[in-house]
Structure 1
Amino acid sequence: MTNDMLHLLAVTTVVAIATFFTRALPFVFFNSMEPPAILSTIEKNLPPMILLLLVFYCLKDVHWFQSPYGTPELFTIAVITVLHVWKRNA
């Protein structure tokens, strides 16, 4: 094996171990007790906050004062909002 292959193998191994430990640690810490209230709050509110950040990111380059004045983006936001309300899927 060359040095590049050993380096690639070492990095892959470290990443795999780190991923395993970050996935396993919550089960080790919270296996016999209820998780703290802050974790429940984060679990409930994090997905909508991330989606809101994605919407802001998608709208950051819209030229609101030049034609077409963000009309396609606003139309798309309206359609997605109607679909989510209609299907009750957040």
Structure 2
Amino acid sequence: MTKSQILFSIIIMAVCTLITRLLPFLIFPEHRKTPPLVTYLGAVLPYAIIGMLVVYCFKQVSFIQYPFGIPEMIGFLFVIFVHRWKHHLLLSIGGGTLFYMILIRFVF
């Protein structure tokens, strides 16, 4: 890419990011009540997204070939344990990722 194409791409990405950040405030101003559907989606979607991520993470795990999904299951249980213990999302995800990487590099 040329320098002008790179600059143009950065400008387009910045404008798109700005639009996606400002659009909810323009559609749902502070003085208006938020529609019930939007409130419902705000309550339900985070759990649906986490569930989808879990399915995505385990979609290619083979339970019939060595190591039979053992490191993935141990990492999954580690994330659950740390989250129930500390209730800190970044600590549980980051710690679980680190723990899983150690498992697959040095144990399995």
Bin for the TM-score computed over the shorter chain: 0.7 to 0.9
Q: Looking at both structures, which has the greater relative contact order when contacts are Cα pairs under 8 Å and sequence separation is at least 6?
A: 2
Is 1:15 the counterpart of 2:13 in the alignment? yes
1:8-67: CA deviation from partner (whole Å, max 9, x where unpaired): 222222222222122112112211212212222222222222222222222122111123
- TM-aligned CA distance change 1:7 to 1:66, over 3 Å: closer
State the match for 2:98 in structure 1.
none
Paired amino acid for 2:16: A
Of 26, 29, 39, which aligns to 2:27? 29
- Give the 4+ runs in structure 1 shifted more than 4 A: none
- TM-aligned CA distance change 1:67 to 1:4, over 3 Å: closer
Unaligned runs of 5+ in 2: 90-108
TM-score in terms of structure 2 length: 0.64
Aligned positions, number: 88
Unaligned runs of 5+ in 1: none
SS in 2 for 1:73: helix
State the match for 1:50 in structure 2.
49
State the match for 2:63 in structure 1.
64
CA RMSD of aligned residues (A): 2.3
Q: Distance in 1 between matches of 2:87 and 2:14?
A: 38
TM-score in terms of structure 1 length: 0.74
